[in-house]
Structure 1
């Protein structure tokens, strides 16, 4: 009995003082509405399924697409034209004269050239036109005369 009175006194004093109750803060999961909680549950369910499938080696990640590397085409430089290499003027003059004579021999019976000097004058005019465009010794002069006589 001797211990009973102090025990009751402590019990009364202890119950008389109130301490504020501490509530646990709401977790983000509990703050969500019922529909949002259901969506989260479905997402978690599928995450677990994928995790289990990955452990078994059945899961293939389809989000990572693999592409084969195709190298870009490099711009190919056009080969630069070589500088014009001049030929010997004497041999060029001989070649052009031979072409003019051969042309006149080939066309001597055509109606286009009825007089004797008309073919030579025609070939000479072509040569003069080409010699104005190209310098002596230029291989393009020979090509110009040949194409003009055709």
Structure 2
């Protein structure tokens, strides 16, 4: 005799034979926790390597084993050495329950500088004063500026 599709809970089955001998067996059906996904991302901030991003996925709940399918074809849990962009992972557990999450890996604009020259003329003293102003952009602020002669 089978009983299917039982909800989570504690059940007792009683079996009686022709003697009549009786045996009771108690069992518990548990519900796995719902799948939950989070992650730790590392933006691609290495000055010399645009492929320096990473995503460490953290999944809780569900029923093992878990499979991972990334939007760009990878099937590993985590990604490393990745360029900037959006990455979506779909995690599937042994019961075919799925959850998806998108992670955005950022990269700064390349470091650049514009040097502006401001010149002041004093006709009375015949002096010329020049100021040089460095205007950095891109990169990762705060900027440190040093001048050499």
Task: Give your verdict on TM over 0.5.
Answer: no
Larger relative contact order (CA 8 Å, sep ≥ 6): 1
The TM-score, its normalising length taken from structure 2, stands at: 0.21
Q: Which has the higher strand share?
A: 2
Q: Which has the higher helix share?
A: 1
Q: For the pair shown, which has the larger CA radius of gyration, 1 or 2? A: 1
The TM-score, its normalising length taken from structure 1, stands at: 0.21
